[in-house]
Amino acid sequence: MRFNFFLSEALSSLRRNWVMTVAAVLTVFISMAILGLVLVIDRNLNQGATSLKNRVMIEVFLKDSATPEQVAALKSRIESMPEVKGAPTYVSKDEALAEFKQRLGANAASILQNLSTNPLPASFRIYVKNPNEVDRVAARFFNDPIVDNTPGTHDGVRYAQQTVRRMLGTIDLVEKGMWVATIIFSAAAILLISTTVRLSIFARRREIEIMRLVGATNWFIRWPFVVRLRRQPRCDSVEGPGHRLRGCDGLRDGATPALRGARRRRAGRSDGLPLSGHLAARQYGWGRAHVRPRWRTTLPRRSAPANIRSACVL
Amino acid sequence: MITFENVSKVYDGGVVGLQNVSMHIGKGEFAFLVGPSGSGKSTLIRLILKELEPTDGRILVAGRNLNTLRRSKIPLLRRNIGCVFQDFKLLPDKTVFENVAYALEVVGEPRRSIRRKVPEILNLVGLGDKMNSLPSEISGGEQQRVSVARAFVNHPPLLLADEPTGNIDPDTSVGIMQLLLRINRTGTTILCATHDREMVDRMRKRVLALDSGRLVRDERRGVYDSEV
């Protein structure tokens, strides 16, 4: 019955102030939608950036003259480098050719017909943990004797130097930008929503004052507002609904059960005015009414029954 | 029922609301609080409701020290104090019935007993036939009676009235006062702040007079002005 009361209170106030309601719903909707959109974009960009970063690769080409021992030695040297992610992939000459064929597709046969030997070098493919270190790692192979460098250059070690650098710069900038955007939009959403809520409370400050005077607990006053808000965010966006209101999930039955017992007993007797207040109070003791919370939920106790247990009944 | 011990209230701006007021109002008493505007009548009433905190001194209501009463218990205090105000303070978009019922809903009264009690008290104040009117549709005197009904529907042991007849013509005021008197006869303590000289003189009840925050007079069967 309490819930029905709150619900009907909420509904009737929605009906009476529908312009305000629509404005509030729209405000909440739009601000949450924008925030949600920003977060989605941020999420995607981040994912993109991460996968790009993961794809930064160093390819080290080996001389055909390298002996298997030398190759194995290089491999274990690479594996021991702390910057390197996982084991390097060794691509033998044959594998390189097979890959090449695959890449050429239908034309492969005619081109490869003319080759008497396999011109493709074997290689190691190395992934680094942190793309910023790609330069440093690559430089270690510049002077390796088994790396297939044309004398005077480092063309045996291939990595997208400029591209990587530019990409990293861009990603960094975008990430910072998204941070700022997220903060701004979150702040905007919070401010907008809190203003809306405050406005709707302000519009009812007289009502609230009266509720306080007749001894409504804070939650008793809040419930209709909460129900009102509960109904709104159903249409809100991705990030919308729960978050803002999760704080209200842990509502308890306010202070009322404390007096309910006493009231009920007293109700049996009050027929008009005969039973005087303080007499009744004396009859039923000074507080310490039993407490039976109606809703048990998870949040920390706000209007905890402990307070109520020693309720002050005059 | 109400005890003030050297209570002072100085507002933030330095305005003195009450100055060293000590008094005691016993159970079942009917007391008038008189004094010119700004003499501290409303301050005193708001202190009893714990709407304000005293700057100094102790306030006991029904043996409870308000200074140490926790904020979370204020609603419980107020449920035991009925309040009537000069401007009625009725919810404008609720009917007479709903306004009175609200005070019961707040304390979690079952709907069945609300349906029984509200008409009962409204009949008592003589508004049995206006239950479904909105406050805007009835006269000031009637609104005040609704407000009295709301204040008393819980049968609180204490009823505070802040200028209950301030906005009402003299004839209607008499009705309101009689109503308060009847409530008082049931044992409810009543403290009534008022400007209504005639009423106070006629009722011959206890009079507490305030002047610029000081309690200047306390007579058992007093009148509005000092008889000296």
- pLDDT tens, position by position, A70-103: 888 888 888 888 888 878 888 888 888 888 888 8
pLDDT at A238: 37
Which chain B residues are within 8 Å of A255, Cβ to Cβ? Answer: 72-73, 75-76
pLDDT tens across B93-151, in order?
A: 889 999 999 888 888 888 899 999 999 999 988 898 999 999 999 998 899 999 999 99
Q: Chain A, 188-207: which have a CB under 8 Å from a chain B CB?
A: 206-207
pLDDT at A283: 36
Q: Is the pLDDT confidence value at B22 over 90?
A: yes
Place of tokens 């979150």: A186
DSSP code at position A233: G
Q: Look at B110 and A1 and tell me if their CB atoms are within 8 Å.
A: yes
Which residue in B has a C-alpha nearest to residue A4's C-alpha? B111
Higher-pLDDT residue of A287, B41: B41
Q: Look at B187 and A281 and tell me if their CB atoms are within 8 Å.
A: no
pLDDT tens across B146-203, in order?
A: 999 999 998 999 999 998 988 888 888 888 898 999 999 999 999 999 988 888 888 8
pLDDT tens across A15-36, in order?
A: 777 787 788 788 888 888 888 8
Model pTM? 0.57
pLDDT tens across A257-297, in order?
A: 333 444 344 333 333 333 333 333 333 333 333 333 344 33
Residue A108 structure tokens: 């492969």
Q: Is residue B124 part of a domain?
A: yes
Higher-pLDDT residue of A176, A278: A176
| Three-class secondary structure of residue A59 per DSSP | strand
CB A118 within 8 A of CB A97: yes
Q: What is the mean pLDDT of residues A200-223?
A: 80
Which chain B residues are within 8 Å of A273, Cβ to Cβ? Answer: 124, 155, 182-183, 186
Q: Is residue B58 part of a domain?
A: no
Q: Is the pLDDT confidence value at A255 over 50?
A: no
Q: What is the CATH number of the domain that holds A68?
A: 3.30.70.3040
CB A147 within 8 A of CB A60: yes
Q: Is residue B114 part of a domain?
A: yes
Which residue in A has a C-alpha nearest to residue B115's C-alpha? A267
Check CB contact of A103 with chain B, cutoff 8 Å.
no
Confidence band for A229, pLDDT divided at 50, 70 and 90: low
Q: What is the mean pLDDT of residues A42-52?
A: 84
pLDDT at B73: 87
Percent of chain A with pLDDT over 70: 71
Higher-pLDDT residue of A257, A3: A3
Check CB contact of A109 with chain B, cutoff 8 Å.
no
Structural domains counted in chain A: 1
Q: What is the mean pLDDT of residues A137-163?
A: 77
Q: Look at A215 and B72 and tell me if their CB atoms are within 8 Å.
A: no
Residue B105 structure tokens: 């809903």
User: What range does the domain containing A130 cover?
Assistant: 57-159
Q: Is residue A150 part of a domain?
A: yes
Question: Minimal Cα–Cα distance from B226 to chain A, Å?
Answer: 32
Order across the sheet with B2-10: list the strands. B16-25, B2-10, B56-61, B64-65
Confidence band for B56, pLDDT divided at 50, 70 and 90: very high
Q: Is residue A272 part of a domain?
A: no
Q: How many CB pairs under 8 A join A and B?
A: 140
Q: What is the mean pLDDT of residues A166-183?
A: 85
Q: Is residue B94 part of a domain?
A: yes
Confidence band for B34, pLDDT divided at 50, 70 and 90: very high
pLDDT at A282: 36
Higher-pLDDT residue of A225, B218: B218
Among B3, B4, B45, B33, residue whose Cα is nearest residue B210 = B33
Which of B77, B103, B186 faces A273 most closely, judged by CB atoms? B186
Among B162, B205, B212, residue whose Cα is nearest residue B32 = B205
pLDDT at B59: 94
Check CB contact of A2 with chain B, cutoff 8 Å.
yes
Alpha helices in A114-160 (DSSP H): 134-139
Q: Is residue B130 part of a domain?
A: yes
Structural domains counted in chain B: 1
CB A255 within 8 A of CB B75: yes
CB B151 within 8 A of CB B83: yes
Check CB contact of A157 with chain B, cutoff 8 Å.
no
So what's the ipTM on this one? 0.76
Among B160, B164, B146, B165, residue whose Cα is nearest residue B102 = B146
Q: What is the mean pLDDT of residues B7-23?
A: 91
Higher-pLDDT residue of A289, A150: A150
Alpha helices in B186-227 (DSSP H): 197-203
Q: How far is Cα A265 from Cα A52, in angstroms, rounded to an integer?
A: 73
Q: Is residue B120 part of a domain?
A: yes
Residue B215 structure tokens: 């309690």
Check CB contact of A306 with chain B, cutoff 8 Å.
no
Least confident of A12-16, A47-51, A191-195: A12-16
Which of B64, B93, B183 faces A16 most closely, judged by CB atoms? B93
User: What range does the domain containing B143 cover?
Assistant: 90-155
Q: Is residue A128 part of a domain?
A: yes
Confidence band for A14, pLDDT divided at 50, 70 and 90: confident
Q: How far is Cα A6 from Cα A10, in angstroms, rounded to an integer?
A: 6
Beta bridge partners of B214: B211
Q: Is the pLDDT confidence value at B79 over 80?
A: yes
Q: Is residue B188 part of a domain?
A: no
